[in-house]
Amino acid sequence: MLKPKVLVVMKFIPEIAIDLLRERFEVKILCDPPQGSRAEIIEKIAGKFGIFCSPENKIDEELIKTAGPSLKVVGTISAGYDHVDLTAMKKYGIRLGNTSDASTESVAETTVGLLIATTRRFFEANHAVKTGEWKDVTLGWMCGRGIRNSVIGIVGCGNIGTSIAKKLKAFEISQLLYTSRTEKPAVNALGGKFVTIDELVEQSDFIILSIALNEDTKFIINKERIAKMKSHAVLVNIGRGGLIDQDALIEALQENRIGGAGLDVMTPEPLPLDSPLMKMDNVVLLPHIGSASIETRTEIAILTAKNIIAVLDNTAMSTEVQF
């Protein structure tokens, strides 16, 4: 009997995950470019049972129709799934698996590191060392703001936001504010206060975005809310670039109306080299590496493979998106 077929549209997937798939499927891997071009995916998707993809791959009705009735599952190697057309998935009866829990701790770790690097000016200071700017040090040279005794605001307190809150609580902050779809008992137990998004941006010294991107959250940080922030506020985004009106953020940073920004996600990705964000000392940019620990990337690859296999076996996925 012929094995059903799976299309893997990512390069450098850990072999342990590919081996799991090969036990049950005929596996086709698109290697060039690393995420598979749109044209190549469209060309190769016909007749496939499943697709193993990343947020760089748009899963829309065109692709689903091209795949044909054999397509039963999409496995995305990410917690977010804003790249997937859920309406089309539901229309054609296709199941979606994500990796919602597997990356929690690594993303939370990245968030804390990005916050510290931004507010304490680590990248700017490192540049000073390498370019010879480090000479006579005055009392105020390279000073940033500390986290201790600050007000932290977290937008989105799912698993990742809650983990961030737990980690930052250890810094002896003065207040923890958060906004989410509902109150979170685990965050309340840390002393967190459930507030509106506008209250949060007005009162926080550090604002962290860890919320999913959808039609309701797109540009949740817009020009009006940026205008409400404290003049020294630092904005950290580890969710999706579309959560922020990037043009409004650039304008505020250029005019020094807020203290700075630490961005692991932006619009578009990769960010063009001529973006104004590239030229700013008060911005720290990372190339979407929130989950980039060896352990986590291996775990989420295995989880994605197991999600696809679960659909073949007509069983529950470990992490299935309900729609």
- 81-131 tens-digit pLDDT: 999 999 999 999 999 999 988 999 999 999 999 999 999 999 999 999 999
Position of tokens 């932290």? 152
At 32 the pLDDT is 57
Q: In what order do the strands lie in the sheet with 283-285?
A: 192-194, 175-179, 151-155, 206-209, 234-237, 260-263, 283-285
Beta strands in the chain (DSSP E): 5-8, 26-29, 50-53, 73-76, 95-97, 151-155, 175-179, 192-194, 206-209, 234-237, 260-263, 283-285
Query: Which stretch, 9-13, 135-139, 154-158, has highest mean pLDDT?
Result: 154-158
pLDDT digits (tens, 9 = 90+) for 193-250: 999 999 999 999 999 999 999 999 999 999 999 999 999 999 999 999 999 999 999 9
The token duo for 7 is 């299309």
Active-site residue flag, 288:
yes
How many other β-carbons are positioned within 10 Å of the β-carbon of residue 135? Answer: 7
Outline where 120-222 has alpha helix (H): 122-131, 159-169, 185-188, 197-203
Tokens of 231: 């003049």
Whole-Å CA distances, 19 to 156, 185, 239, 302: 36, 41, 31, 10
Quote the pTM value: 0.89
Which listed residue (83, 127, 232, 288) is catalytic? 288
Tokens representing 46 are 């016909």
Tell me the β-bridge partners of 7. 28, 51
Rounded-to-integer distance, Cα 50 and Cα 25, Å? 9
Q: pLDDT tens, 5-30?
A: 999 998 789 999 999 999 999 999 98
Which of 11-20, 269-278, 308-317 bottoms out in mean pLDDT, i.e. has the lowest?
11-20
> Residue 213's pLDDT is what?
93
**Predicted pLDDT of residue 169:** 96
